[in-house]
Amino acid sequence: MVRTTGLASMRFTHCPARVAAVAAALLLAGPLGTAIAADSGTGVSATQLEDVVVTARRHYVATDTTSATKTDIPLVETPQSVSVVTHDQIELLQIQNLEQATRYTAGIISGSYGGDDRFDWLTLRGFTPTEYLDGLRLPTAAVAEAQSRLDIYALEQVEILKGPASALYGQAPPGGLVNMTSKRPSADAAGEAQLQLGTFNHRQMAFDSTGPIDAGTPILYRVTALLRDSDAQVDYDHDRRTLLAPAVTFNFSDAGSLTLLSHYQDDHTGTAVQFLPSQGTLLPNPNGEIPTSRYTSEPNYDTYHRRAWDAGYDFDYRLAGGWSVHQSLRYTDLTMNYNTVYGGGFQPDLRTLNRYTYLVDSAASNLAVDTRARYKGTLGSVDHDVLFGIDYFKARDNSAIGFGNAPSLDLYAPVYGQPVTDPAIAVHTVTNQDQTGVYAQDHAKIGKTVLTLSVREDHVSTKTHDALYGGDTPQSVSAFTGRAGVNYLFDSGVAPYVSFGKSFQPTIGVDFLGKAFVPTTGTQYELGVKYQPPGVHVFLTAAVYQLTEQHALTPDPDLTHLFYSVQSGEIRVRGAELEAVLRLNDNLSINGTYSLTDAVVTQSNGADLDQHVPLVARHQASALTDYTIRTGAIAGLGFGIGVRYTGNSFGDAANQWETPPYTLVDAIVHYDTKLWHFAINANNLLDKRYVTTCGSADFCYLGSARSAFATLTRRW
* pLDDT (tens digit per residue) in 262-274: 999 999 998 888 9
Of all residues in the chain, the percent with pLDDT exceeding 90 is: 82
Buried b (16+ CB within 10 A) or exposed e, 525-548: ebebebbbeeeebbbbbbbebebb
For the entire predicted model, the pTM comes to: 0.89
pLDDT value of residue 388: 98
Instruction: Report the distance separating Cα 202 and Cα 626, nearest Å.
Output: 25
Within a domain: 192: yes
Give the DSSP letter string of 290-341. Answer: PPTT---S-TTT-EEEEEEEEEEEEEEEE-GGGEEEEEEEEEEEEEEEEEEE
Within a domain: 49: no
Note the pLDDT tens digit of each residue in 668-708.
999 999 999 999 999 999 999 999 999 999 999 999 999 99
Instruction: Report the distance separating Cα 697 and Cα 211, nearest Å.
Output: 56
Within the chain, how many helices (H) and strands (E) appear? 6, 35
- Give the list of residues 6+ apart from residue 29 with CB closer than 8 angstroms, or none: 193
Can you give the CATH number for the domain in which 547 is found? 2.40.170.20
Instruction: Report the distance separating Cα 498 and Cα 454, nearest Å.
Output: 14
Within a domain: 396: no
What is the residue range of 144's domain?
A: 6-42+62-391+411-715
pLDDT value of residue 27: 34
**Mean pLDDT for the stretch of residues 8-32:** 34
Query: In this model, does residue 47 exceed pLDDT 60?
Result: no
Cα dist from 351 to 105, 295, 302, 409, whole Å: 39, 14, 22, 8
Report whether 473 contacts 498 (CB < 8 A): no
Within a domain: 53: no
Higher pLDDT, 113 or 195: 195
Within a domain: 311: yes
Give the DSSP letter string of 392-412. Answer: EEEEEEEEEEEEEEEEEEETT
Note the pLDDT tens digit of each residue in 252-264.
888 999 999 999 9
- Give the list of residues 6+ apart from residue 452 with CB closer than 8 angstroms, or none: 69, 77, 78, 79, 441, 442, 443, 444, 483, 484, 485, 486, 487, 499
- At 161, which helix (H) or strand (E)? strand 155-162
Instruction: Report the distance separating Cα 177 and Cα 159, nearest Å.
Output: 8
Query: In this model, does residue 75 exceed pLDDT 60?
Result: yes
Within a domain: 400: no
Query: What's the chain's average pLDDT?
Result: 90
Note the pLDDT tens digit of each residue in 379-405.
999 999 999 999 999 999 999 999 999
Identify which of 433, 429, 469 has the alpha carbon closest to the alpha carbon of residue 146: 429
Within a domain: 1: no
Note the pLDDT tens digit of each residue in 452-462.
999 999 999 99
Query: In this model, does residue 22 exceed pLDDT 60?
Result: no
Report whether 545 contacts 524 (CB < 8 A): yes
Note the pLDDT tens digit of each residue in 100-149.
999 999 999 998 888 888 888 899 999 999 999 999 999 887 787 888 88
Cα dist from 693 to 94, 146, 390, 600, 665, whole Å: 26, 22, 41, 18, 19
Q: Please give the DSSP secondary-structure letter assigned to residue 621.
A: E
| Number of independent structural domains in the chain | 1
pLDDT value of residue 55: 55
Confidence of residue 60 (pLDDT cuts 50, 70, 90): very high
Within a domain: 380: yes
